[in-house]
Structure 1
Amino acid sequence: MIKNIVFDFGGVIADIDREQAVQAFIRLGVKDADRILDKYHQTGIFQELEEGTLTEEAYRNELGKLCGRTLSWEEVQQAWLGFFTGIDVRKLHYLETLRREGYKLYVLSNTNPYVMGWACSERFSSEGKPLTAYFEKLYLSYQIGCTKPDRRIFEFMLTDSKMQPEETLFVDDGASNIAAGRELGMYTFQPENGSDWRDELAKLLIRLK
């Protein structure tokens, strides 16, 4: 019986567009943004930021060197927000329904302070609610110190939350992340980025009862 549902953030809760983000970082001055940026797993200083080995300030300084100028915190955040194309409020309402039905909801995300500065604010949804309003807890790579699909980030979440894998459904649009969750004994569901997965998830939860 499923008691817990763990959601990825980018690509599941928030729709993302890698090409849009690439253009945002090119406008910032990162000439090789197309090589550096990935929908699922970053590289270089982008990866170090998401793993928490670079602070947001140190990352901004390093990014500034790539761009050949000093960058403001707001400029860097705006570039990162280039990944996101929108928040479907119907998904947020469905999350509220799931909680009323008794499910405990969590986020497990490869992310960084710039993105979460927006997501955990009232700017996140059209209804003025932050991401934290919809979940028991957020498990964020830069706070934990590793990124999906590293087994350690899953193990940290399971231990901290006291979730049992066999009672947990993991929802992520990345194939390698889904494989890692399945290896740890969780049920999994892989919707496509940007899809309206509500009906499919509801049917799956009925089957898993």
Structure 2
Amino acid sequence: MTIEAVIFDIGNVLIEWQPERYYDAKIGEARRRAMFAEVDLHGMNDRVDIGGEFTQTIYETAETYPSWRDEIRMWHDDWIELATPPIDHSIRLMRALQAKGMPVFALTNFGIGSFAYAETKYPFLGEFDRRYISGHMGVIKPDPKIYEMVEADCGIAPERLLFTDDRADNIAQAKARGWNVHLFEDPQGWADCLVSYGLLTAEDAT
């Protein structure tokens, strides 16, 4: 079956997203573990990703946990330090596909405000042929609705889509809809996948 579009997740595929690593460096692993045990920071981030206002959502959470107020606000104030560095090999793969005429889409759990900010730091985020940003869609992966919305918008049959994501639950839901999928663990594995589909040569995929 011919692939008609390749879909990239962003976090941990094109940009490293490791909040725990950031906090370990800032406040130490022991305090980070204590904070994450008390505060559902990833749940807070999901609320941003589903369309919650970036600053308000995080600052309100900070006020709910005054003993961690300053640390929680770092999620907003130092956000770009949580979402770094870019994964250069993956960016090259995206551009190599486009150079071959293959449409490349983004499908990502990302907030409206946080994505707008990320665009100011990572210009490649503006290079996708189509962008499916959860904050604008009002739904996050792995809810089946987000995959349905992608299919309806792009008009490409599921079996003609190839999708990579670093989370197994997101991949499983796409596969259940008939998408071709690759669980992203490192850019070389993704490069090898693209070569195996005949979308890039080994030289293109370096």
TM over 0.5: yes
**Contact 1:119–1:130, Cα closer than 8 Å, also in 2:** no
Superposition RMSD in Å = 3.0
Q: Which amino acid aligns with 1:206?
A: G
CA drift of 1:195 comes to 4.1
> Any idea what the Cα deviations from partners look like across 1:23-77, whole Å, max 9, x if unmatched?
47969x996235524xxxx32x33222111x322431431331353988xx9543
Give 2:7's aligned residue. Answer: 6
Change (3 A) 1:198 1:181: closer
Which has the higher mean CA deviation after the structures are superposed, 147-156 or 82-91?
82-91
SS in structure 1 opposite 2:156? coil
Alignment of 1:162-201 (within 5 A): 162-192=155-185, 194-201=186-193
SS in structure 1 opposite 2:162? strand
Change (3 A) 1:175 1:90: closer
Aligned mates of 1:198, 1:171 — CA distance in 2 = 8
Alignment of 1:35-114 (within 5 A): 36-37=40-41, 42-43=42-43, 45-52=44-51, 54-66=52-64, 68=66, 76-114=75-113
**Contact 1:20–1:82, Cα closer than 8 Å, also in 2:** no
* Aligned partner of 1:132 among 105, 117, 126: 126
**Contact 1:3–1:102, Cα closer than 8 Å, also in 2:** no
SS in structure 2 opposite 1:197? helix
Give 1:147's aligned residue. Answer: 140
Aligned mates of 1:88, 1:55 — CA distance in 2 = 27
Give 1:16's aligned residue. Answer: 17
Aligned mates of 1:155, 1:26 — CA distance in 2 = 41
Aligned mates of 1:111, 1:11 — CA distance in 2 = 12
Q: Which amino acid aligns with 1:65?
A: E
CA drift of 1:108 comes to 0.7
Structure 1 unaligned residues grouped into runs of 5+: none
Structure 2 unaligned residues grouped into runs of 5+: 200-206
Alignment of 1:32 onto 2:35: yes
Change (3 A) 1:138 1:23: farther
